Amino acid sequence: MTANPNPAPDIRKATMPIRRDIAFKLPAERATNWHGMGEQVTVFMNTLSLFFPHGERFFIDSIRHYRDAEQIDDPELQQAVRAFIGQEAMHGREHDEFNAMVDDAGLPVLELEAKVKTLLDFLQAHLPPSMQLSATCALEHWTAIMGGMLLDNPEVFDGSEPRFRDMWMWHAMEETEHKGVAFDVYRAVLGKGVKAETLRATGLVLATLLFWALVFNFHPKMMKALQQQQATQGKRKRRGLRQRVRGLVDLAQFTVGTKPGFLRALLPEYLSYFRPGFHPWDVDNRHHLEGVEALAERYAA
């Protein structure tokens, strides 16, 4: 008997995702300052959040297309797809609530979300389904490696409001749990030939450029709105230069520095996606799922 050179299918069986109905009931008064590293990092995370509801519906649609066309034969993969859809729908619901709360706090979340929706509607109308699925796998790679980073470095949330922290941890755990599903659908319907691998790599390049260009375009808009709103409310007349520089240094530390410098730290894992034959479960981080049921119980809807 030869050893299985690719353990991914076994891991998939061991990590069948489960839809969990969770409601965090976040405290609205902390919407713009919940992260332990202050407003810049809070608003950066809030900016990431505004992509989730429409983005995750795009992921669901791109997979549903192949499921409805009955191109997924494997019953276990069909079951995983059902759970994937359930999990992403739940993430969308919680992030919708979160985003509405941040919008109520005076940040232009709904306006920016509408831009994301317009873009995704355009892509859905003009890209072939295979490219949409490739983009989904690419962005699922991003959510999986970012989620893995948060779970590897829970101290990132030191000093954060606990409910907000737990919401991000829950999302990170479930992104880990279902990280192979879109990818397995891609393999099942498009295979692993040169054409499929090229389309997969192209999807990652384009999705990365588009996603981060929007994040770094939206984040200053969100910060500006927060500062204007605080000035209007008289909460803060004028931020001193030192305070502004401090906020930017914290954000730089968080993204490319050492606390945890996630964009820098994630580069090797990000690049591994380009390796022919890559599979998300090549990195076996199932241990991150250990606390998910306890978390789900604590916040059961």
Applying CB under 5 A, the residues found at the interface with Fe ion are: 91, 143, 175
> Who contacts 250 (Cβ-Cβ below 8 Å, separation ≥6)?
37, 38, 40, 41, 259
> Closest separation between CB of residue 172 and Fe ion, Å?
9
> Closest separation between CB of residue 106 and Fe ion, Å?
26
Nearest to Fe ion of 19, 30 (CB atom): 19
Nearest to Fe ion of 180, 247 (CB atom): 180
Nearest to Fe ion of 130, 143 (CB atom): 143
* Structure tokens given for 154: 């829970």
Number of helical H runs and strand E runs in the chain: 13, 0
Looking at residue 201, the DSSP 8-state letter turns out to be: H
First CA to last CA distance, the chain: 48
Nearest to Fe ion of 252, 283 (CB atom): 283
Nearest to Fe ion of 88, 250 (CB atom): 88
* Number of Cβ within a 10 Å radius of residue 162: 11
Instruction: Let me know the angle formed at the C-alpha of 12 by 300 and 156, rounded to the nearest 5 degrees.
Output: 55
